Amino acid sequence: MKERQPPRLLRALLPLTIGLSVVGVLLWQTVDENGGWSAIEGAVTLQGWPVMLLLLAALVFTRDFGYVLRLRWLSGGTLSWRQAIETTVLWEFASAITPGIVGGGAVAIWGLHRQGMSPGRSTALVFSTALLDELLYVAAVPVLLFALGSEAAPADFDSVIGWGIFWTSWGLLVALSAIIGFGLFLAPDATRRILLWVGEWRWLRRWRPAIHGFAGDLRTSSDAMKALPGRYWVGASLATIASWSARFLSLVAVMAMIVAPWSSLEPMTIVARQLIMWVYLLISPTPGSSGVAEWLLGVFFGPWFDLASSPIAPAVTMLIWRMATHFIYLLIGVLVIPGWLRRTGRD
């Protein structure tokens, strides 16, 4: 099968430009509506913001370290620390420059294969991490919605369109989890037979040997994943929980720097609203959900922004949040990936 081409680094400029433009427009409008820069008095940050900044840095580290640990454990230790870190950087960079529904999984598979892992093994590894992500999400949503009730969504969200899109998307994620679990772990032989059948299609015959080889490799890799010691799966599951928790608590830390003290922010409600918002980021057509993420932040967290003493607090919150959860991966990717490509290039 034809090897997937590496992501174009210049594409990082598009989501960066979109995101910064949206934040800039919101900031300019807010300042203009409040009498201009000369009318803005008082510090934007709250007392004790350095502590929250350190917490934000720790949460970003926890999120990515959890991803690295998952790759290490689910690879059975065959990936070195360096390889796991570089794969995580590549994965996050690809996610940042592609629409949410595309994600960086396909590029991660390509990256693992480029580092010497077989196509079937790299596919099984990425699908296993995706399965852990989907299972955590589909399980957490009902629990938090049941616990928080109407507070888990904006006041004007209670409509057929709002909840309809959300529950439809949630159901599709449940179906995706079932497909991955069935195809990779419950019925790998059936998956192999389907791939072999696809390889017989006339317009795919030129790739038949590669497809047949991939089918057999994926079947073998499925056995290897199922044979992993239970402690590896437990560790990967805990790492998934830590990564997702850190992802959503990052916004709470940013808001505690700018908007209101942590004690008055209702962190679990903010996390629940991000779980709902995440579905809309997933179906966003823009690279890395740029523009859409900034707009939805105002829609979902307007009541908290009303607590801020500074009128530019929402725009500053958006900027710092996107820097910590999106723009940072564009920067790291641009710095790391060129050297990785040269080092892993094949003769």
**Segments of the chain scoring below 50 in pLDDT:** 1-6, 34-35, 39-43, 347
List the chain domain ranges.
9-344
CA distances from 21 to 26, 72, 78, 315, 319 (A): 9, 38, 43, 11, 10
Cα–Cα nearest to 253, from 148, 330, 324: 324
The torsion of the CA quartet 178, 183, 188, 189, rounded to 10 degrees, works out to 110
Which residues have C-beta within 8 Å of that of residue 52, sequence separation ≥ 6?
Answer: 46, 253, 254, 256, 257, 262
Q: What is the pTM of this model?
A: 0.82
Instruction: Please report how the helices 230-258 and 119-148 are oriented relative to each other, as an axis angle in degrees rounded to 10.
Output: 50
Q: What confidence tens digit (pLDDT) does each residue in 246-268 have? A: 999 999 999 998 888 898 899 99
Q: What confidence tens digit (pLDDT) does each residue in 213-226 have? A: 777 767 777 788 88
Q: What is the pLDDT of residue 24?
A: 62
Q: Which residues pair with 287 in a beta bridge?
A: 99
